[in-house]
Structure 1
Amino acid sequence: MSHGPLDDDAVESYREAGAVLVETMNEAREMVEPGVTHLEVAEWAEDHVREEGAGLAFPVNISVDEEASHATPGRDDNTEFGDDDMVCLDVGVHVDGYIADAAVTVDLSGTDDLVEASEMALEAALEEAGPGVPVGEIGAAIEDVIRGYGYTPVLNLSGHGVQKYDAHTGPNVPNRGVDRSVELEPGQAVAIEPFATDGRGKVGEGTTEEIYEQVSDRSVRDRRARKALEQIEAFDDLPFAARWLEGTGTEMALKRLKQKNVVKGYPVLKEEAGQLVSQAEHTLLVTEDGIEVTTAGIHSFD
């Protein structure tokens, strides 16, 4: 599919979403300290995005240690950050549907080089990226840096395109070298997100599920499910957190909606127990003569 140049309004919305995300992330990362709860950070960040007049492209992800993605606190979650946690914060913001997606790793465990591996892999990927560049070459740059640090890229997670009101589209940007792959095209918005691990480099689904997305508008008879669906339809088909739903019985309502294939859930993706995962991510616009990073200003070393 040919993209062509983005119109000025779209570019401005992508930039505004990036600016809100940068400000939110730089504040939120400072909150990650032992004794603070995951829920406090997630709710602060989500509230801040809304206060800035933007929307959430997905719930704030707070992944700890072996968790890599899709982890967000539940409604009554009182889990606190520990003094040896590795914490990945992944935040998505949209303005009029145009999305910025970025992630940082806050290390409380003293494993600085694992964090640096994903950060430097992201820098290498951004240097490689541009119109006409095969995504497999970007993946090779990511893999070379991470393996150079003695770690393994998470091979079954990848970067991705973002389009209006769609947080995960093509092209996929692998975290390893691929010989044959599509090329980046002007007009694309792409989130590049290296994951580095001291584990085997493959994530699997855990049992926890707090993030959902509407996938059909099929009618349901259950009263509570209908009430939940009324709220869900306000999320513009973007992923949402179970804790965003108000009223009693929302857990059972979501279960009914899943059974009817009205919503799908996103289980937490995890490495093997005892391993660590770091993540770094930026969103960029591919232009005719290069790239523009809409989320620049986040990934600085302390």
Structure 2
Amino acid sequence: MGDALKETETGPPPSVDGEDHDDSEKEDAAADVPGAPAGEGKKKKKKRKPAKKKKLAQSDPPRVGLSKLFPDGNYPEGELQEYKDDNAWRTTSEEARYLERMAMEDEEQTYENIRHAAEVHRQVRQAARKHIRPGMSMTHIADYIEDGVRAVVEENGLQAGIAFPTGLSLNHCAAHYTPNAGDTIILGDKDVMKVDIGVHVKGRIVDSAFTLAFDHAYDPLLEAVRAATDTGVRESGIDARLGEIGAAIQETMESYEVEADGKIYPVKSIENLSGHSIELYRTHGPKSVPMVRTNDQTKMEEGEYFAIETFGSTGRGRVVDGGECSHYARVFDPPRVPLRLTSAKALLNTINKNFGSLPFCRRYLDRIGESKYLFALNHLVAQGIVRDYPPLWDARGSMTAQFEHTILLRPTRKEVVSRGDDF
């Protein structure tokens, strides 16, 4: 890590006596040497080369804070896409451009904070994609990703850090699995793993996910889901109706099929999962972006931002709760309920201080020194103050995949803030 932060300079070596001397006097004297042939008495002046600084680069594994790589605080813009049809005028509209300038200069630096989180996401996930291989434990993979996020975002309490537990859901488990302490699951070469990473800066969350499969038989499944997500991104925009976006996603998704173990499996959209709007310190906002056709006439609006995520399955295309729970979150507006258990009160204080309304997992409680907290945690769930999010399973034996991007609906165009060279 130290080498990645080191700056080196190149230039002329210092003089032997430690002082800098001006060679111009020697050159002038040489020019006046009597009897020297024309042109030989003069020596060409050597220009000093300015000291060069080695450009900082991200380390492997990622441990260089992003502020060191972007000291001016200007982070890369995401992929820009023009709005469709009736909104095409926004690209050249003077009014829309004015509104965009105002949004860029808002006191909360909303755009820059989102882009900051997005660049952290890109750097960490691209390193993870190169690093993850069959034979690794789920705990190792989660630690690799989360240690990277904490370092690159320069974790600072609730000002910057992990937005939710890293999802590493395998095979028929579509979402909401991350290892608990003592987990012994090892990634196999036939597994299909969804990697769902969340980063936030000052509560502005970037939510993006990809899927890894090492058996090429499932390449068409990954291709279907990636194409469906790109369709959802393309169809999204100001005044776009959520139900119509879902119809376009479903049409793309279900045009694919997978051949595995001598059988043909149609790819299905998982009908009871969806994308979602994102709000300040709130991963799942009030608007849902379906991945199947619905009658929802709710429109996307200017200034909102969304996680466009799609899940495809070779199974029934519907998920149910299953397995040991790892994900939890304090309810965004918790009810005022008297807590009689001292341990529950203490745990709630810990949750409020360390996570606020952001999701957390049991490993995170372990990490900050909590122990024997399950009874208190379950009590908070029973009181409706904390919500549990068990793993979501499709039919056993099926395979599921996920791709997800965060998009920002700017006044002039949409910005796919989480887009990278990898997907």
TM-score, normalised on structure 1?
Answer: 0.92
Pick which of 199-208 and 43-52 moved more: 43-52
Q: Distance in 2 between matches of 1:227 and 1:78?
A: 30
Alignment of 1:273-284 (within 5 A): 273-284=396-407
CA deviation profile, 1:19-54 (whole Å, cap 9, x unmatched)? 111112112233331111111111221222221223
Q: Distance in 2 between matches of 1:219 and 1:136?
A: 41
Shift of 1:219: 5.2
More strand by share: 1
Q: Which runs of 5+ in 2 are unaligned?
A: 1-98, 155-159, 258-266
Does the 8 Å contact 2:126/2:422 carry over to 1? Answer: no
Q: How many Å separate the matches in 2 of 1:298 and 1:43?
A: 24
Structure with bigger gyration radius: 2
5 Å matches for 1:65-214? 65-110=171-216, 111-150=218-257, 151-214=267-330
> How many Å apart are 1:299 and its aligned residue?
4.4
2:4 aligns with none
Q: What SS does the corresponding residue of 1:160 show, helix, strand or coil?
A: strand
Aligned-partner Cα distance in 1 for 2:233–2:391: 27
For residue 264 of structure 1, what is the aligned residue in structure 2? 387
Match of 2:150 in 1: 50
1:237 counterpart letter in structure 2? S
CA distance 1:218–1:271, change in 2 (3 Å): same
The 3 A distance-change label for structure 1 pair 131 and 260 is: closer
Of the structure 1 ranges 276-285 and 16-25, higher mean CA displacement relative to structure 2 is found in: 16-25
Distance (whole Å) between structure 2 residues aligned to residue 259 and residue 141 of structure 1: 39
Closer, same or farther in 2 for the Cα pair 1:166/1:191, shift >3 Å?
same
Residue by residue, what CA displacement relative to the aligned partner does 1:108-160 show, whole Å, maximum 9, x if unpaired? 23310000100011112222222122222221221111111131101110100
Does residue 1:291 correspond to 2:414, yes or no?
Answer: yes
C-alpha distance in 2, partners of 1:72/1:80? 13
Distance 1:198 1:142 in 2: 16
Residue 248 (structure 1) aligns with: 371
Q: Is the deviation greater in 145-154 or in 7-16?
A: 7-16
TM-score normalised according to structure 2 size: 0.67
> Contact conserved, 2:309 with 2:404, CA < 8 A, in 1?
yes
Per the alignment, residue 238 of structure 1 pairs with: 358
C-alpha distance in 1, partners of 2:299/2:361? 34
Indicate the residue corresponding to 2:341 in structure 1: 222
Q: 1:45 to 1:210 in 2, by over 3 A?
A: same
1:39 matches 2:146? no
* 2:412 match: secondary structure: coil
> RMSD of aligned C-alpha atoms?
1.8
One-letter identity of the residue aligned with 2:349: E
- Structure 2 counterpart of 1:22: 122
Shift of 1:264: 1.7
Return closer, same or farther for 1:299/1:144 CA change in 2, 3 Å cut-off. Answer: farther
AA partner of residue 174 (structure 1): P
Query: Residue deviations 1:53-107, cap 9 Å, x none?
Result: 2311111011100011111110221211011000000111110000100000001
After alignment, is 283-292 or 96-105 more displaced? 283-292
Once residues 180 and 97 of structure 1 are traced to their aligned partners in structure 2, the CA distance between those partners, rounded to angstroms, is 28
- 2-structure distance, mates of 1:180, 1:194: 17
2:13 corresponds in structure 1 to none
**Larger RCO: Structure 1 or Structure 2 (Cα < 8 Å, ≥ 6 residues apart)?**
1
Equivalent in the alignment of 2:112: 12
What's the CA shift for 1:261? 2.9
Deviates more, 1:193-202 or 1:290-299: 290-299
Instruction: Call closer, same or farther: CA 1:229–1:180 in 2, change over 3 Å.
Output: closer
2 CA distance for matches of 1:298 and 1:47?
22
